[in-house]
């Protein structure tokens, strides 16, 4: 049994955050916080400890998700996965994030992504196949999914 | 025409013809004995005058367009040609000067230059406007795309949340089927706007995603899939009906095909084959399950859905007994759609 993940949700849509929280908890993980803006997210990064932060690009204060990812990257206390309907907004270097789950994702896609991330964080590299709808950043692709 | 005598002080005019008098508006006695410079005025180009002076000093031919003034103060463009005339011994005797009023030509030259500038400015202005409009359109497209994706995600979330609160198994099952259909639409939308060309859709890639997703979501690891997918690109407007149809067929097979086989196992295999023989696009969804006899209420709605979508796509659809199991074969034309033919 692999240790479950502590998850931070950075998402401006309450409905999506709610559902994501339920799914994360159903999969046996825990949610340590939910932020809707970049300021809230940064404060939460400082005050909580998460293994994974799911970060939407578009937050209540604009397209500030990349900022949040960079802030988390400097703190080095958790890893970032973007979750966005607008993956073209992500810079080529992914601001240090693992990758992106493109919206709209399927519920199963998300469950598979959680399992994949759990393996990747606790016992890298992940054993499961990369779930459909999950794209790794170039940096993580070389480590987690090297081309044989 | 004018003739001047350079051997007299200040090179005065010694002969003028009537044409020159008509052109300049002077009387003969007013110009004889004078240097030609009285034709110049405030707007005459100094550099052109210098050019004339140099040519005269060096005793060579010169041809210029110069702005000259009439007696009444009005101006005209003068195509002036001056050439020195010498005797047999090489001594300079006269300068011969011919004038031609080229005001009309000059005016059209100016007009053309002005028109060209104006057009260039107008084109630049219009280009700027179009670029701004395109940028606004692109932003709008991204915004709408973003909103559609978010809304699809919210619809899925609402269904899942609602479903959690429902005790009745049949209602939950029905919501789960609805979720599958919406997720099929979502997957189309995600894939469509991920690609660079939003008008084309790779249906083989979609099928691979869909089957993997449905199989793992069903949690029935004993059911395996066989995918034989040629890369097939269809137009975007066909993407949704094709995707929904494939979703229906695969979920139907998953739900109804694999009850319990005569040998007592529930294992099975779902196969999808996509190919495109000559202008056609074929999809085969097969299973090695219990066969077609079994059809629940939901299956019959699914069946109606499949048949309607097939009609929309002008597709032929056929259920075959694969013994064991069922094979559904869909065949449709895959030619570029005529514009204006979209219903």
Helix (H) or strand (E) segment spanning residue B229? strand B223-229
Q: How many CB atoms lie within 10 A of CB A15?
A: 16
Read off the pLDDT band of B342 (50, 70, 90): very low
Cβ of A22 within 8 Å of Cβ of B161? The answer is yes
Q: Identify all chain B residues contacting A22, using CB atoms and an 8 Å cutoff.
A: 160-161, 164
A132 vs B142, B164, B212: nearest CB: B212
Chain A contacts to B (CB-CB under 8 A): 13, 15-16, 18-19, 22-23, 58, 85-88, 102-109, 111-112, 132-133
Nearest to A19 among B157, B216, B217 (CB): B157
Mutate which: B152, B155, B176, B190, vs A, most A CBs within 10 A: B190
For all residues of chain B together, what is the average pLDDT? Answer: 86
Q: Could you tell me the strand order of the sheet in which B326-333 lies?
A: B223-229, B268-275, B280-287, B326-333, B316-321
Separation between Cα atoms, residue B287 and residue B271, nearest integer Å = 6
Q: Flag if A106 and B213 touch (Cβ within 8 Å).
A: yes
Task: Decide if pLDDT at B297 tops 60.
Answer: no
pLDDT exceeds cutoff 80 at A4: yes
Placement of tokens 């359109």 in the chain: B137
Contact B331, B289 (CB under 8 A): no
Q: How far is A47 from chain B (nearest CA, A)?
A: 29
CB B289, CB B258: distance < 8 Å? yes
The stretch B46-50 carries a mean pLDDT of: 93
Taking CB atoms and an 8 Å limit, are B217 and A106 in contact across chains? yes
Contacts of A109 in chain B (CB under 8 A): 213
Q: What is the CATH number of the domain that holds B233?
A: 3.30.565.10
Instruction: From chain B, pick out residues whose CB is under 8 angstroms from the CB of A108.
Output: 213-214, 216-217
Which own/partner contact pairs does A92-98 have at CB distance under 8 Å and 24+ positions apart?
A92/A138, A93/A137, A93/A138, A93/A139, A94/A69, A94/A137, A94/A138, A94/A139, A95/A66, A95/A69, A95/A70, A96/A69, A96/A70, A96/A72, A96/A137, A96/A139, A97/A55, A97/A69, A97/A73, A97/A137, A98/A136, A98/A137, A98/A140, A98/A144
Give the tens place of pLDDT for each residue, B108-154: 988 999 999 999 999 999 999 999 999 999 888 888 888 899 999 99
CB B20 within 8 A of CB B99: yes
- CATH code of the domain containing A118: 3.40.50.2300
Domain count of chain B?
Answer: 2
Does a structural domain hold residue A1?
A: no
Which chain B residue has the Cα nearest residue A135?
Answer: B194
Contact A102, A81 (CB under 8 A): no
DSSP notation for B317-342 = EEEEE-SSSEEEEEEEE-SPPPTT--
Phi (first) and psi of residue B94, to 5 degrees: -140, 165
B164 touches chain A (CB under 8 A): yes
Task: Report CB contact under 8 Å: A133, B187.
Answer: yes
**Is B128 within a domain?**
no
Asked if A104 lies within 8 A of B153 by C-beta distance, the reply is yes
- B154 vs A13: CB contact, 8 Å cut-off? yes
Query: Both ends of chain B: CA-CA distance in Å?
Result: 80
- Write phi, then psi, for A119 (nearest 5 degrees): -60, -45
Q: Grade residue B339 by pLDDT with cuts at 50, 70 and 90.
A: very low
Q: Which residue range is the domain that position A97 belongs to? A: 6-144
Kindly identify which residue of chain A lies nearest to residue B151, measuring between CA atoms: A104
Cα atoms found within 13 Å of the Cα of residue B130, Cβ hemisphere only: 6
Searching chain B, which residue's CA lies closest to the CA of residue A112? B216
A vs B, Cβ pairs < 8 A, gives 80
Please list every residue in chain B whose beta carbon sits closer than 8 Å to the beta carbon of residue A86.
Answer: 142, 145-146, 149
For chain A, strand residue ranges (E) read 6-10, 30-35, 52-55, 79-84, 99-102, 134-136
Domain boundary among B76, B101, B126: B101
- Tell me what pLDDT residue B117 has: 92
The region, left, alpha or beta by phi > 0 then psi within -120 to 50, assigned to residue A95 is left
CA dist B147 and A87 (Å) reads 13
The domain boundary residue, chosen from B101, B125, B148: B101
**Which pLDDT score, from 0 to 100, does residue B336 have?**
53
Q: Tell whether B220 is within 8 A of chain A (Cβ).
A: no
Q: Which residues of A touch B195 (CB under 8 A)?
A: none
Number of domains making up chain A: 1
Query: Could you say which of A22, A104, A108 has the minimum Cβ distance to residue B190?
Result: A104
Q: A4: which DSSP letter? A: P
pLDDT for res B287: 87
Q: What integer pLDDT is reported at residue A9 of this predicted model? A: 96
Mean pLDDT throughout A32-49? 94
Contacts of B154 in chain A (CB under 8 A): 13, 15-16
CB B330 within 8 Å of CB B316: yes
Q: Is the pLDDT of residue B155 over 70?
A: yes
Question: pLDDT per residue over B61-80, tens digit each?
Answer: 999 999 999 999 999 999 99
Question: Do B92 and B204 belong together in one domain?
Answer: no
User: What is the model's pLDDT at position B260?
Assistant: 66
Distance CA A53, CA A26 (A): 17
For residue B265, the model assigns a pLDDT of 65
**What number of other Cβ atoms are within 10 A of residue B76's Cβ?**
20
| Residue B303: how many other CB atoms lie within 10 Å | 14
The answer to whether residue B240 neighbours chain A at the CB level (below 8 Å) is: no
Domain coverage including residue B230: 200-333
Query: Residue B278, Cβ neighbours under 10 Å: how many?
Result: 5
With 70 as the cut, is the pLDDT of residue B176 above it?
yes
What's the confidence (pLDDT) of residue B338? 40
Q: Which of A21, A54, A56, A104 to mutate to test the interface with B (most CBs of B within 10 A)?
A: A104
Q: Is the pLDDT of residue B232 over 70?
A: yes
CATH number at residue B57: 3.30.450.20
Q: What percent of chain B has pLDDT over 90?
A: 49
Helices (H), chain B: 18-24, 28-31, 46-58, 103-164, 169-194, 203-218, 236-252, 297-312
H/E stretch holding A17 reads helix A14-26
Residue A145 has pLDDT above 90, yes or no: no
Q: Quick one: pLDDT at residue B175? A: 93
**Under a CB-based contact definition with an 8 Å cutoff, are residues B94 and B56 in contact?**
no
Instruction: Please give the structure tokens belonging to residue A32.
Output: 């340590």
Last residue of a domain, one of B45, B76, B101: B101
Q: Give the rounded percent of residues in chain B with a pLDDT score beyond 70.
A: 92
pLDDT band at B295 (very low <50, low <70, confident <90, very high): very low
pLDDT tens, position by position, B204-230:
888 888 888 888 887 777 888 889 988
Query: Which residue of chain A has the CA closest to B142?
Result: A86
B160·A107 Cβ contact <8 A: yes
Which of A124-133, B257-266, B327-336 comes out lowest in average pLDDT? B257-266
Percentage of chain A beyond pLDDT 70 is 98
Q: Cβ separation of A18 and B161 shorter than 8 Å?
A: yes
So what's the pLDDT on residue B154? 93
Q: Is the pLDDT of residue B95 over 50?
A: yes
What's the mean pLDDT in B228-236?
A: 86
Position B280 scores a pLDDT of 86
- So what's the pLDDT on residue A126? 87
């Amino acid at each position: 049994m692999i240790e479950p993940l502590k998850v931070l949700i950075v998402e401006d849509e309450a409905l999506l955050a709610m559902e994501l929280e339920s799914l994360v908890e159903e999969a046996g993980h825990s949610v340590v916080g939910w932020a809707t803006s970049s300021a809230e997210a940064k404060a939460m990064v400082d005050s909580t400890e998460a293994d994974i932060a799911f970060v939407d690009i578009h937050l209540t204060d604009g397209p500030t998700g990349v900022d949040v990812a960079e802030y988390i990257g400097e703190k080095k206390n958790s890893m970032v996965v973007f979750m966005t309907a607008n993956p073209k907004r992500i810079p080529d270097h992914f601001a240090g994030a693992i990758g992106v789950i493109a919206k709209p994702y399927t519920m199963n896609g998300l469950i598979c992504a959680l399992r994949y991330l759990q393996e990747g964080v606790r016992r890298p590299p992940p054993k499961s196949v990369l779930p459909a709808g999950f794209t790794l950043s170039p940096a993580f692709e070389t480590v987690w999914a090297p081309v044989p | 025409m004018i003739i001047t005598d350079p051997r007299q002080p200040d090179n005065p005019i010694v002969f003028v013809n009537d044409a020159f008098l008509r052109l300049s508006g002077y009387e003969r006695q007013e110009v004889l004995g004078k240097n030609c410079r009285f034709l110049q005025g405030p707007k005459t180009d100094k550099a052109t005058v210098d050019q004339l002076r140099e040519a005269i000093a060096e005793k060579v031919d010169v041809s210029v367009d110069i702005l000259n003034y009439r007696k009444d103060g009005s101006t005209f463009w003068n195509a002036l040609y001056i050439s020195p005339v010498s005797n047999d011994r090489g001594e300079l005797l006269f300068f011969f000067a011919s004038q031609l009023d080229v005001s009309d030509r000059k005016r059209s030259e100016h007009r053309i230059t002005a028109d060209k500038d104006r057009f260039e400015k107008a084109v630049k202005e219009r280009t700027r406007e179009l670029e701004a409009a395109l940028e606004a359109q692109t932003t709008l497209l991204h915004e709408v795309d973003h909103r559609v994706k978010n809304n699809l995600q919210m619809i899925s979330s609402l269904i899942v949340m609602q479903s959690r609160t429902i005790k009745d198994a049949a209602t939950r099952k029905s919501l789960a089927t609805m979720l599958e259909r919406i997720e099929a639409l979502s997957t189309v939308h995600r894939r469509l706007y991920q690609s660079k060309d939003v008008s084309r859709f790779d249906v083989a890639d979609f099928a691979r995603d869909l089957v993997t997703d449905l199989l793992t979501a069903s949690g029935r690891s004993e059911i395996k899939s066989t995918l034989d997918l040629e890369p097939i690109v269809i137009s975007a407007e066909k993407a949704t009906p094709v995707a929904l149809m494939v979703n229906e067929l695969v979920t139907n097979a998953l739900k109804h095909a694999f009850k319990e086989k005569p040998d007592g196992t529930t294992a099975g295999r779902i196969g999808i084959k996509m190919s495109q023989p000559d202008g056609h696009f074929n999809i085969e969804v097969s299973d090695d399950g219990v066969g077609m006899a079994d059809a629940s209420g939901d299956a019959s709605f699914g069946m109606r859905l499949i048949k309607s979508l097939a009609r929309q796509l002008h597709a032929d659809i056929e259920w075959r007994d694969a013994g064991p199991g069922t094979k559904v074969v869909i065949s449709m034309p895959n030619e570029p759609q005529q514009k204006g033919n979209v219903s």
